[in-house]
Amino acid sequence: MFISSAMAQTAPAAAAGGDMQSSLMGMLPLVLMFVVLYFVMIRPQMKKAKEHKAMVDALAKGDEIITQGGLLGKVSKLGDSFVGIELAAGVEVQMQRSAVIQVLPKGTIK
């Protein structure tokens, strides 16, 4: 009794080769969606982060900048992770370098 039921269970396993191919075809849309997601979202975001890092690393004393908080000022001091920004005559604040979002052309702030 047990032997016949065990043999009956092993018989469909011989046709598993075609079943594996259909499971791979079922995963194809998922793989394609990941590839599209990479090229549409992940890659441009990595490129933008790389450009921002290069811009922050290239900051120099006297550059006119805009911070994430919307403050405009001139770079007066540079440190490893902080930057001193002169907002007005005699008003200076310390901010993280990563808070700088844009370097303005010279002469923008009057």
**Residue 95: phi, psi to the nearest 5?**
-140, 160
Residue 67 sits in the same domain as residue 99: yes
Residues 43 and 78 in one domain: no
Domain match, 70 and 96 both: yes
Give the model's pLDDT for residue 56: 95
> Of 54, 76, 94, which residue is a domain's last?
54
Q: What is the pLDDT of residues 2-37, one digit of tens each?
A: 665 555 555 555 444 567 888 888 899 999 999 999
pLDDT band at 104 (very low <50, low <70, confident <90, very high): very high
Q: Which domain holds residue 8?
A: 2-54
| CB proximity list for 83: less than 8 A, separation 6 or greater | 59, 75, 77, 94, 95, 96, 97, 100
CATH number of 77's domain:
2.30.30
Tell me the per-residue pLDDT of 48-62, one tens digit each, with 9 for 90 and over.
Answer: 999 999 999 999 999
Q: Are residues 13 and 48 in the same domain?
A: yes
